[in-house]
Structure 1
Amino acid sequence: MNARIRTAVAAALTAVLALGATGCALDGSKADQPFMDAPKGAINKQPMDTVVMSDGFSNVGAKCDGPNRVYVIFHGNDKYGSVAVAPNDPRCTTR
């Protein structure tokens, strides 16, 4: 092999290894990466009611935030989910 080919192969191998190492470092849990994208305000640490569905289905979490009931749909640590709000839910009383 001439020097150019060896240099190109070494550069490609280095790039692949760097991308692999970066992917492993970023593959943490969502819980390990809190509040990394924006400033935070008040934190609601009240307990959440959780409905755990059978395997293969999404789970539901619900809790009160002020007078509103907030529902979060999630599936383990996957990258998707959704949020719904029931405004002025009678189960949520201001303390």
Structure 2
Amino acid sequence: MTSGCPMCGDPFPCLKHGKPGHTLTEGHHLMRSTRTRAAIAVAAALLGLGALAGCDSKTTEPFKDAPRSHVNNGTPMDVVRGSDGFSNVGTKCDHGNRLYVAYHGDNPYAAVAVVPQDPTCH
């Protein structure tokens, strides 16, 4: 293991002068190799960030559930946001029944409850 660059006195191995006993051209090759590795690392990091940016929350994804009928109840849900660490709840009326959907963050699961013939849904 070397203790630094013998040509310029830098306490760390110097890329400008290569390893001891090598020519200056080999030092430039070493510098180019380091730049190539750095460029590959940056490109990989950007690709990873791009892949993560493509992930979106479940509330905006298209329908990936059972087939739907032609009846569309597109009225928005009333959303009750729970404190941090607690589930959020959405509620709405559908054909006289009140639906409650509880979900936690972007987890792929939810709890569903139905109040049949809820008097507030008429």
TM range (shorter): 0.5 to 0.7
TM-score by length of 2: 0.50
Identity, % of aligned pairs? 54
Identify the match of residue 38 of structure 1 among 66, 69, 73.
Answer: 66
Aligned length: 72
Aligned-residue RMSD, C-alpha: 2.3
Specify every segment of 5 or more residues in structure 2 that has no aligned partner in the other structure, as ranges: 1-47
Match of 1:79 in 2: 108
One-letter amino acid of the structure 2 residue matched with residue 88 of structure 1: Q
Higher normalized contact order (CA 8 Å, seq sep 6+, divided by chain length): 1
Q: Relative to structure 1, is the Cα distance of residues 45 and 62 closer, same or farther in structure 2, using a 3 angstrom cutoff? A: same
Q: Pick the structure with more strand per residue.
A: 1
1:1-95 aligned at under 5 Å gives the runs 27-41=55-69, 42-93=71-122
Runs of 4+ in 1 over 6 A off after TM superposition: none
Q: State the alpha-carbon separation in 2 of the partners of residues 60 and 37 from structure 1.
A: 20
Specify every segment of 5 or more residues in structure 1 that has no aligned partner in the other structure, as ranges: 1-19
Which of the pair has more CA radius of gyration?
A: 2
